[in-house]
Structures are given as structure tokens and as C-alpha cells.
Amino acid sequence: MSTPTVPRHRPATGRAVPLPHSRVTGTPPEQRRAPAPGIAGVPATPDGCHCPEEHEALVTEIAQLRTAMASRAAIEQAKGMLMMLTGCGEQGAFNLLAHISSHTHRKVREVAVAIIESASGRERLPADVQAILRDACPPGSAMH
């Protein structure tokens, strides 16, 4: 069995540096077993059992990362809409979202989704969010 090498990582001697085995599985690729069913990507012990605490922590982390990714997309869309409405930059648009969030006691993501839903015609913008946006971009004001 040979150890995998990466030519671009050479010490001063010019020899390739061996790479360690996968940290997740601890075994070389040719000796790896298929993951336990229904838990793809979760580290398993050599006998295929999973540590319940580690599994729960990973499931929680995955859920949090998915929520963060969804939140980021909505926030970016809302920022773009606010930039067009107010003529402000990216940071100004985020600051406005944060201001609305803190004054309406909603999460920034919830404010962003409300703005997107309103702009697409699916929902009315909540009155408290409307009032703050009206102050930030009064009707008839020049956009740029």
C-alpha cells in the first residue's frame, strides 16, 4: 500500500510530502466502507456505530448552516432592493435592515423576507416596517 502524495507540496529536498489518511474516516480510500445508511457524511467508528452525542451535534450544526445560507440569500436580495430604493450602498442597506429589525423586534432575516414578499406582490409589508421605510425613502424623494 502506498501513501498518496501531492507534488506541489515539496520540501527543500524536492521529494513529495505524504498526505495523512482522511481525518473523517481514518482509513485509506481503498479500505473505506460505505457510510451507515441515512447518515451520510457523519463520522462512524470502525464498527459502523455512531456516537449519539456527536451525531446530534452534527445534525444541529447542519440545520444551523442551512438556515444561515437561506438567510443570507434573502438578506442579499432585500439589500439589493433597498439599495435601489434609497440609492445607498451595500453597507447602508444592511444598516437599514438592522435598524428595521431592532425597531420592529424581528430578526433581520424576517425583515428581509417581508421586503422580498412585498416586492413580489405575495404579501403586504407590515405597517411598522412600512413606516420605517417611508421615513428612510419618503415618497417623491430623488433616488440618486
Residue 5: inside a domain: no
Determine the pLDDT at residue 70.
Answer: 84
The reported pLDDT for the residue numbered 44 is 57
Residue 92 lies in a domain: yes
More confident residue, 26 or 133: 133
- Asked whether residue 47 is domain-assigned, the answer is no
User: pLDDT tens-digit profile of 31-66?
Assistant: 555 544 445 555 555 555 567 788 788 889 999 998
pLDDT at 95: 94
Looking at the domain assignment, is residue 20 inside a domain? no
Structural domain harbouring 64:
52-136
pLDDT at 55: 79
In this predicted model, what pLDDT tens digit does every residue of 98-132 receive, in sequence order? 999 999 999 999 999 999 999 999 999 999 999 99
79-88 long-range contacts (CB < 8 A, ≥24 apart) are 79/112, 81/115, 81/116, 81/119, 82/115, 84/143, 85/133, 85/137, 85/143, 86/136, 86/137, 86/143, 87/142, 87/143, 87/144
Return the amino acid letter for 8. R
Cell of 55: 451525531
Q: Which amino acid is at 42?
A: V
What separation, in Å, do the N-terminal and C-terminal C-alpha atoms of the chain show?
A: 67
Q: How many domains does the chain have?
A: 1
C-alpha span between 43 and 86 (Å, rounded): 48
**pTM check: above 0.85:** no
Q: Torsion angle, CA of 95/101/107/108, rounded to 10 degrees?
A: -30
97, part of any domain: yes
